[in-house]
């Protein structure tokens, strides 16, 4: 009889320990940081101590904060919805004549989203540049990144015409662009950032996925 009681206590202890561990694991999963307006560098490229790193530089508050892209949700509100201009140059954008766009110029209530390579030291990479490669987009419709000058768009990335798409970006650049979404829903956008070291010719890289929630 004493053996049975000892066994019961042992198994009860295991169950309680497992429950406590499960509770700890659940509580450790934090909700994402939601960014919905203000300045943000979606792709913030750094190089130090032999490693190329990619973070989100959150400038929406009083102090800039570097965040892991996995911890961030970029929210695109319904006020980002636009009527797509006419003409074949705009055929990459939208569906049914509408799209959601985070603009390259600052606008109230929307994210002013860009990228920067200002922390990449001079002379580290060949040609003093890195390459941004859009490798995958998971979402309800197309995703694009483009600039507009004189009313005409220049498409930098477009998931609608096949991937990957690549863009060479010089060091010490801080740029803002238009981020376009063809429909409401959640998009997981994956970029690979690579650079070829000037000293050795070796390639270093970092791949990150960025999540956008586009509201109807």
Non-local CB neighbours of 62 within 8 Å, separated by 6+ positions? none
* pTM, two decimal places: 0.86
Res 30: pLDDT = 85
Q: What is the mean pLDDT of the chain?
A: 90
Widest CA span in the chain: 89
How would you classify residue 150: left for phi > 0, otherwise alpha for psi between -120 and 50, otherwise beta? Answer: left
The DSSP letter of residue 125 is B
| Tens of pLDDT, residues 20-59 | 344 444 445 689 999 999 999 999 999 998 999 999 999 9
Confidence bin at 73 (pLDDT 50/70/90): very high
The per-residue pLDDT for 28 is 58
Q: What is the DSSP string of 63-77?
A: S-EEE-GGGEEEEE-
pLDDT in tens, 155-191: 999 999 999 999 999 999 999 999 999 999 999 999 9
Who's near 68: CB < 8 A, 6+ residues apart? 55, 56
Question: In terms of Cα–Cα distance, which of 65, 16, 68 is closest to 38?
Answer: 65
The alpha carbons of the chain give a radius of gyration, in whole angstroms, of: 22
Give the chain's count of helices (H) and strands (E).
Answer: 1, 16
The set of residues, in sequence order, having a beta carbon less than 8 Å from that of 79 and lying 6+ positions away, is 109, 110
C-alpha triplet 35, 79, 162: angle, nearest 5°: 75
């Amino acid at each position: 009889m004493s053996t049975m009681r000892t066994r019961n206590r042992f198994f009860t202890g295991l169950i309680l320990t497992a429950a406590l561990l499960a509770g700890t694991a659940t509580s450790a999963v934090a909700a994402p940081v939601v960014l919905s307006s203000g300045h943000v560098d979606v792709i913030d490229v750094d190089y130090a101590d032999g490693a190329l790193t990619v973070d989100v530089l959150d400038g929406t508050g009083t102090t800039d904060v570097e965040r892991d892209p996995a911890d961030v949700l970029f929210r695109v509100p319904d006020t980002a919805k636009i009527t797509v201009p006419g003409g074949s140059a705009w055929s990459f954008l939208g569906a049914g004549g509408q799209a959601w766009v985070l603009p390259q110029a600052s606008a109230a209530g929307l994210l002013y989203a860009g990228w920067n390579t200002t922390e990449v030291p001079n002379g580290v990479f060949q040609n003093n540049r890195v390459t941004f490669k859009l490798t995958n987009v998971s979402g309800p419709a197309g995703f694009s990144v483009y600039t507009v000058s004189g009313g005409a768009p220049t498409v930098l990335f477009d998931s609608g015409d096949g991937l990957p798409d690549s863009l060479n970006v010089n060091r010490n650049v801080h740029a803002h662009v238009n981020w376009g979404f063809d429909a409401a829903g959640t998009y997981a956008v994956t970029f690979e950032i690579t650079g070829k070291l000037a000293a050795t010719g070796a390639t270093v890289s970092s791949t990150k996925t960025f999540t956008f929630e586009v509201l109807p």
